Structure 1
């Protein structure tokens, strides 16, 4: 009888632990190679600040696990407090969504070495970022030549480089718009519209907002885009009939 009671209590404890571990609809696991000690914080943006929604202590074992709840897919951040030095290379962006997500990286290349799997929105965002980085690099490559042209007062060269920069920005915005429209059935679409091209011509944002599928329109970023477009619409000049 005593053994039966002990066995029952043990099973109850295990069941309780299992239930606690599975709390939440987003299960995040990962490994940070080379990390011996520190604290990981899973953060989200609230208003304009990063707020921690979970913390994980690392002490010897670089593997980590977290269970959180999200109403819809959302861009989160995995912040590493190294405990010794303050590094700029300490916050990994990842597009979280319900299901199992894995984040693997290393201490030396915490951001650039990160490999994130298990999220379709993350996969799409990485595709977008790969092409978008080319526009960023091209713009950076024009900064120094333009500065030199200004310094030597070569107005013709300044004008030429300025036009190249403006054309690059137009191509960047057009790419972001087309990417959002082509992926209107994923939450990455309204996110890109809000984070990357919020200052584009109103009609492009309006088109992206109207193209969203009902599921995406009800999501966190879908609602934000709808509100943003609605606010912009109120600011648009009214056209009087001729």
Structure 2
């Protein structure tokens, strides 16, 4: 009888733990789209390079929404707004989903640019990364314009100078991304940036990022993808060196 009671208590504790673990794997997504009267929201993820809807919310009068989504691992998801009547490019918000409570507030007129996403540490870090990275993008755009003008006036000296500056800007951009990924090795944003932003960098940098990941991050969706990607590149390089 005593053993039966102990066994029952053990099973109850295990069941309780499993429930907690299951709950921890869920994303509770809430939000509000100011000005939206009717439309459909689709929560999407990338599957084999294509966006696939994993849930949807019908908006009819109430601009607030709420959904529970099963997450195996933190990952980038998309909140797509089907406006129904008007076609707009401003209709897909990228957000770094992770277990817990995440809220997205925005408005109909500036769906992407006005989006405020809270509750995700990976999202917070990704926005920090994007803020600095945008400076490199802006610098490059300025140089593209300057290079175009130099070509029009056939100023080869200016073209060569701009080319050198562009190369330097690219190197600084890649170095920043590498350092950011390494400094945030305990978050899934690290392998994501390696795969999405600097996948074509020298393998030694990707290898450094991959080896710096914490065990938890290494077992995440993007951690596994980065490990596989680095292994494939090394394999290809070995084949190339042997054939030469």
- TM-score of the superposition, structure 2-length normalised? 0.87
- 1:148 Cα offset (Å): 1.2
- 1:237 Cα offset (Å): 4.2
Which digits, 9 at most, give the CA deviation of each residue in 1:80-123, with x for residues without a partner?
00001110000000000000000000011110100000000000
Helix, strand or coil: the match of 2:167? helix
* Separation (CA, whole Å) in 2 of partners of 1:102 and 1:75: 15
1:179 alignment partner in structure 2 = 180
Would you say how many aligned residue pairs link Structure 1 and Structure 2? 219
* Separation (CA, whole Å) in 2 of partners of 1:103 and 1:63: 10
1:89 alignment partner in structure 2 = 90
2:68 alignment partner in structure 1 = 67
1:30-179 equivalence runs, <5 A:
30-179=31-180
* Separation (CA, whole Å) in 2 of partners of 1:113 and 1:152: 41
8 Å contact 1:24–1:67 — kept in the other structure?
Answer: no
- TM-score of the superposition, structure 1-length normalised? 0.88
Which digits, 9 at most, give the CA deviation of each residue in 1:9-39, with x for residues without a partner?
xxxxxxxxxxxxx897100000000000000
Runs of 4 or more consecutive aligned structure 1 residues displaced over 3 Å after TM superposition = 237-240
Which digits, 9 at most, give the CA deviation of each residue in 1:169-228, with x for residues without a partner?
100000000000000000000000000000000000000000000000000000000000
2:236 alignment partner in structure 1 = 235
8 Å contact 1:184–1:208 — kept in the other structure?
Answer: yes
Which digits, 9 at most, give the CA deviation of each residue in 1:53-90, with x for residues without a partner?
00000000000011111111000000000001110000
Where does structure 1 lack aligned partners over 5 or more consecutive residues? 1-21
Helix, strand or coil: the match of 1:236? helix
8 Å contact 1:35–1:62 — kept in the other structure?
Answer: yes
* Separation (CA, whole Å) in 1 of partners of 2:62 and 2:25: 23
Which digits, 9 at most, give the CA deviation of each residue in 1:131-156, with x for residues without a partner?
00010011011111101111221110
8 Å contact 1:23–1:68 — kept in the other structure?
Answer: no
